[in-house]
Amino acid sequence: MPFVTLDDRTVAYRLLGGDTQPLLLLAHPLGMSQAVWDSVITPLTRRFRVLTWDLPGHGASAGWPVARGEITPAALAAEALALADLAGAERFHFAGTSIGGVIGQQLLSAHPERLYSATLTNTGAVIGSAEMWQTRADRVRSEGLAAMSAEIVPRWFAPASVEGDPALAAGWRVAMSRNEAESYALMCEMLGRHSFVGRLGANAGEATQAVPLTLVGGSEDGATPPATLAALAEECGAEAPTIFEGVGHVPSLEAPARLVELLLTRLSPAASKAQGVDLATGMEARQAVLGADHVARAAQQATSLDRPFQQMITRLAWGELWSDPDLDHRERSMITTAILAALGREELVLHLKTAKRIGLSEAELRQVLMHVAVYAGVPAANHAFGLAKQHGWGG
């Protein structure tokens, strides 16, 4: 697990998936850790580069420095933005649960230009009351997280989930007890002080309204019940939330397959465009895979003769194909390289460079070209091997 220092505080994070895929940030609930996303990361990396991290004093991240005073949604969102910058992403998709959803609301209200989309689960514009959160903060400071975990953790899950898997609650009690009590208490106080009523939807301006927003809840969630999600939807002017039946407060643990399916469906450019993928979506994929400099040079060289053709292939090849989540960029690179090698097309040189940029290994490229030898002929493969060696492949 890598670490980064942000404002003199050590933050633990994970960054998984291909460098050319769009970035998806996942923010975990209060009292838990980035481990809540373990069951969803692998399928999501077929479409996204996924970044998870531990909130202050949670998991392997350092606690909140006393000298910095209170924790605010703006401070937590600033850390999310710093991690996106670390990943080299100007824009990203965001999904957050509970307090992670509060971070998402802060990003929506203050930094919508950084977001492709936001998916907020089991959260609200207001969660609980100031009195409730202050009481919990005081008890955590006096009793400790280990003692409080016996009371708090069972509320995270639907009763049927705990009955069917007693180790689920027992394991998360251990995990919660290892977090830092003061950072947890500070975040409780933050939830009691801050509200997003009047800060979202029409009240937040056109940029915020333009960010696609998906709300998700659980029918058995006692902390942020469906009514809380419905109020958030009204606040944002968003469509009604999707409610997972038989699920409590953490769908990534109780219904990971359903959550993955929803994310892949809602965040897929192809799935959201009944009339085809737009030019901007194709351009983003083209720049990610080929590099912004290459695409800029191609645009500069285009004339009135071939400019419509360039736009067509950007929409078709890069929007409809390379942006579709059914295959990831590595798989598409191998397919494209094999086809171009078999046909002896001059674009093979470009895609040999692309394969290296995406991160194909020498062994993977070798197997691609050996397939070409068997199914398209030895001369075609021999020519492709020669070009690959000319352009940096092989020791």
Closest to 7 in 3D by CA, of 53, 56, 51:
56
Residue 273 is predicted with a pLDDT of 47
Assess whether 69 and 25 both reside in one domain. Answer: yes
Assess whether 284 and 259 both reside in one domain. Answer: no
Assess whether 177 and 305 both reside in one domain. Answer: no
Where a domain ends, among 266, 294, 314? 266
Assess whether 301 and 379 both reside in one domain. Answer: yes
Token pair 């509320």 in the structure block, residue: 155
Residue 208 is predicted with a pLDDT of 63
Closest to 316 in 3D by CA, of 273, 351, 259:
273
Q: Is residue 141 part of a domain?
A: yes
Domain count, the chain: 2
DSSP secondary structure of 63-120: PPPGGG-S--HHHHHHHHHHHHHHTT-SSEEEEEETHHHHHHHHHHHH-GGGEEEEEE
In terms of Cβ atoms closer than 10 Å to its own Cβ (0-12, 13-18, 19+), residue 274 is exposed
Amino acid in the structure at residue 391? H
Assess whether 39 and 163 both reside in one domain. Answer: yes
Beta bridge partners of 213: 118
Q: What is the pTM of this model?
A: 0.85
Assess whether 332 and 258 both reside in one domain. Answer: no
Residue 269 is predicted with a pLDDT of 60
Residue 205 is predicted with a pLDDT of 66
Q: Which two tokens stand for residue 16?
A: 């998984």
Q: Is residue 25 part of a domain?
A: yes
Closest to 64 in 3D by CA, of 76, 52, 80:
76
Assess whether 222 and 293 both reside in one domain. Answer: no
Task: In whole angstroms, give the CA distance from residue 267 to residue 116.
Answer: 9
Task: In whole angstroms, give the CA distance from residue 325 to residue 267.
Answer: 9
Number of other residues whose CB lies within 10 A of the CB of residue 144: 12
Q: Is residue 193 part of a domain?
A: yes
Assess whether 299 and 261 both reside in one domain. Answer: no
Assess whether 97 and 31 both reside in one domain. Answer: yes
Q: Is residue 353 part of a domain?
A: yes
Where a domain ends, among 241, 266, 291? 266
Q: Is residue 296 part of a domain?
A: yes
Q: Is residue 100 part of a domain?
A: yes
Domain containing 297 — which CATH number? 1.20.1290.10
For residue 336, give its domain range. Answer: 279-390
Domain containing 116 — which CATH number? 3.40.50.1820
Assess whether 226 and 289 both reside in one domain. Answer: no
Task: In whole angstroms, give the CA distance from residue 76 to residue 91.
Answer: 17
Ranges of residues in the chain whose predicted pLDDT is under 50: 271-273
pLDDT tens readout for residues 181-216: 999 999 999 999 999 998 887 666 666 678 999 999
pLDDT tens readout for residues 294-343: 888 988 898 999 889 999 999 889 988 888 878 888 999 999 999 999 99
Q: Is residue 271 part of a domain?
A: no
Assess whether 225 and 103 both reside in one domain. Answer: yes
Q: Is residue 274 part of a domain?
A: no
Q: Are β-strands 92-97 and 49-53 bridged in parallel, bridged antiparallel, or unpaired?
A: unpaired
Where a domain ends, among 266, 299, 314? 266
Assess whether 199 and 335 both reside in one domain. Answer: no
Task: In whole angstroms, give the CA distance from residue 169 to residue 153.
Answer: 6
**CA 294 centroid distance within chain:** 27
